[in-house]
Amino acid sequence: VQQIKALGFDVFGTVVNWRDSVAREARAFFQAHGRPDVDPMLFAVDWRGLYQPAMDACRSGERPYVRLSTLHRENLEVMLDAVNFDRSTASEEELHDFTNAWERLDPWPDVVAGLTRLKRKYIIVPMSNGNISLMLKMSKRAGLPWDAIMGSETAGAYKPTREAYLNNVDILELKPAEVCMTAAHNNDLRAARSFGLSTAFILRATEHGPDQKTNLKAEEAWDYVSTSMEDLATKMGC
C-alpha cells in the first residue's frame, strides 16, 4: 500500500508473549509467598481476562480515562482475593512489583529483527492500550526500537474507540490511510479499517497457548497478511 508512512502496533499478543511472561512472574511471586498451589499460567490468563471488562467503564465514559497500570493493579487485587491470597502478607512494594510484571514481557523471537527492518522505511510506534510508562519500561527491557511511544495515553482513549485510533493519527500529523494498524487480532484491524486506517495482520497462533481457537487466520482481506514481524518487513519491502 503505497501511501503508508507509519505503522502502529498492537503490543500485548502481537509484539510480546504476555502469557508465558506473566506466568513466569506469577510463579516467582507465589513461590516466594508460600503458595505454590496457585497455577501461575491460569493466574496469568485470568488476570488478563479482567483486562477488557476493566477498560469498558472508560470506553463507555462511565469512568474517565485511567492508565492501564492502575487497572492492572486493581485487577491484581481481585485476582489475589479470588485465589484466597491474604494481601496483607505482601508488602506494598511487592504488590507494586507484581503489578509491574506487565513491564517485563518478552517479545516474540522475530520482533526485534523485524521492527529494526521496518524502522528503516517507516515510522514505527506502539498503538497499544498500555500507558506510556508501562510501554517505555517494557520496550527498554526488550530492546524494542520505537520511534515514539503512542497508544491509549496519548489518545486519551482505549481501543477500539474511534478516538483511540484517530487521535493518534492526528498526533502523527498524518492521514488515516497513511497509518497501518498492525495486530494479531482481527477485531483491532476491523475497528482501524472502519476509521480509515490501513491494516496488517500478523499471525500469533500460540498467544493463548497450544489450544488457541481465535485469530488463527486473517478474517478479512487486510492490506498485509503475514506470519511474523520479519515476514511483514519482507512484504513491506524492508
Residues binding a copy of itself (CB under 8 A): 69, 123, 125, 131-133, 135-137, 139-140, 146-150, 153-154, 171-174
Residue 63 C-beta: closest distance to a copy of itself, Å: 18
State in angstroms the smallest separation of the CB of 138 from a copy of itself. 11
**What separation in angstroms does the CA of 136 have from each of 77, 102, 128, 145, 179?**
24, 11, 12, 11, 21
* Placement of cell 513466569 in the chain: 24
Query: How near is the Cβ of 64 to a copy of itself at its closest, in Å?
Result: 14
> Which is closer to a copy of itself, CB of 138 or CB of 192?
138
Q: Positive or negative, the Cα torsion across 134, 91, 18, 194?
A: negative
Q: Please, which residue, 24 or 137, has the CB nearer to a copy of itself?
A: 137
Phi and psi based region of residue 206 (left: phi greater than 0; alpha: psi -120 to 50; beta: remaining): alpha
Q: Is 202 exposed, middle or buried (0-12, 13-18, 19+ CB in 10 A)?
A: buried
Nearer to a copy of itself, 133 or 228 (CB): 133
Instruction: Report the distance separating Cα 28 and Cα 25, nearest Å.
Output: 5
Minimal distance, residue 19 CB to a copy of itself, in Å: 24
User: Quick one: 35 or 121, whose CB is closer to a copy of itself?
Assistant: 121
Of 172 and 232, nearer to a copy of itself (C-beta) is: 172
Minimum Å gap between C-beta 134 and a copy of itself is 8
**Alpha-carbon gap, residue 108 to 234, rounded angstroms:** 17
